[in-house]
Amino acid sequence: MKIIIINGPNLNLLGKREPEVYGSTSFEDYFATLQSKFPQVELHYFQSNIEGELIGKLQDVGFEYDGIILNAAAYTHTSVGIGDAVKAIDTPVVEVHISNTHQREAYRHVSYISPGAKGVILGFGLQSYDLAIQSFLG
Ligand code: DQA
């Protein structure tokens, strides 16, 4: 099974960025943990701060991979383009957020990703990614 985690803007700063909200572990360290936890999964990772690069990656993998785990970060709440890309591709997308966005500012309660997503997992810290992988394994 081939799964990719796609992370959007500012998630390259995990571990340093607002640790009270997002924790103190870098995504690189957590990704290594995920790889050792799911050896049966061919797990890939892509991060970009640029909307068009995220859309390009969704198009590149979206007809080939078995699953996409997408944390579009701030673009979740603004990007019609990423939302459209999620709907355009064949590969199922699970939307993930580290924080419980519904407990935060009102502008974080809207998602342009959810209408095209297979499901949404949020609020479990980095473990949200773990749960998303498990959702693909059934
Ligand atoms: C986030 C929540 C978004 O509102 C925020 O802009 C992020 C991270 C999360 O994983 O909790 O950058 O997607």
The pLDDT score that the predictor gives to residue 138 is 85
Return the best residue to mutate from 7, 71, 78, 110 for the ligand 1 pocket (most ligand atoms within 8 A of CB): 71
Residue 4, phi then psi, degrees to nearest 5: -120, 140
Phi-psi region of 65 (alpha: psi -120 to 50; beta: other; left: phi over 0): beta
Q: Is 135 in the pocket of ligand 1 (CB under 6 A)?
A: no
- Is 22 a known active-site residue? yes
Digits of tens for pLDDT over the chain (138 positions)? Answer: 999 999 999 999 999 999 999 999 999 999 999 999 999 999 999 999 999 999 999 999 999 999 999 999 999 999 999 999 999 999 999 999 999 999 999 999 999 999 999 999 999 999 999 999 999 998
Q: Is the dihedral of CA 92, 66, 128, 84 positive or negative?
A: negative
CA distances from 19 to 14, 15, 26, 77, 126 (A): 8, 6, 10, 21, 12
Alpha helix segments (H runs only) across the chain: 19-22, 27-37, 51-61, 80-88, 127-137
8 Å CB contact between 79 and 117: no
Please indicate whether residue 102 is annotated as part of the active site. no
Q: Domains in the chain, start-ordered, CATH in brackets? A: 2-137 (3.40.50.9100)
